Amino acid sequence: LQKILILLHVTMCVAVGKTLLILFPRTMKRYILKQGEKSRMNENPKFSYENWGPTFFSFNYLLFVLKVKWKRLEDEAYEGHPAPNTPVVTFNGEVRHLFDFMQDNRPLILNFGSCT
């Protein structure tokens, strides 16, 4: 049921976005660029709107957003419940699952960070 609701919501958003992009291309370009400022993707001069802007509200965009949102349904964690067995990528590029790293009765510690 959740996947159907997500499908309907994302499909409606993409249809409305695509319609607005066709009817008001300059306004939508400004809007999309304004959204890009929040993620700072506009700061890269080699990453111009013409390269990625037209992909917004495309069929591939729809499929990608659905895939991400559906995958997040599986990865939700709730206090007091077991942790989800989330897929992770090793330094070698191998896809494993979180529980693959557990050993005996030892706690599993996850450390998240960023290097820029």
Name which residue leads in pLDDT, 59 or 87.
Answer: 59
Q: Is the pLDDT of residue 12 over 90?
A: yes
Q: How far apart are CA 20 and CA 14, in angstroms?
A: 10
At residue 64's C-alpha, the angle toward residues 37 and 78, to 5°, is 85
Q: Is the pLDDT of residue 116 over 70?
A: no
Burial of residue 55, with CB atoms counted within 10 A of its CB: 0-12 exposed, 13-18 middle, 19 or more buried: exposed
Q: What global pTM score does this model have?
A: 0.57
Note the pLDDT tens digit of each residue in 25-69: 999 888 888 877 777 766 777 777 787 777 888 999 999 999 888
Residues 15, 13, 67, 61, CA torsion sign: positive
Report the percent of the chain where pLDDT is more than 90: 25
- Most confident segment among 11-20, 52-61, 70-79: 11-20
DSSP symbol at 97: E
Q: Are 53 and 29 in contact (CB under 8 A)?
A: yes
Q: What is the pLDDT of residue 89?
A: 83
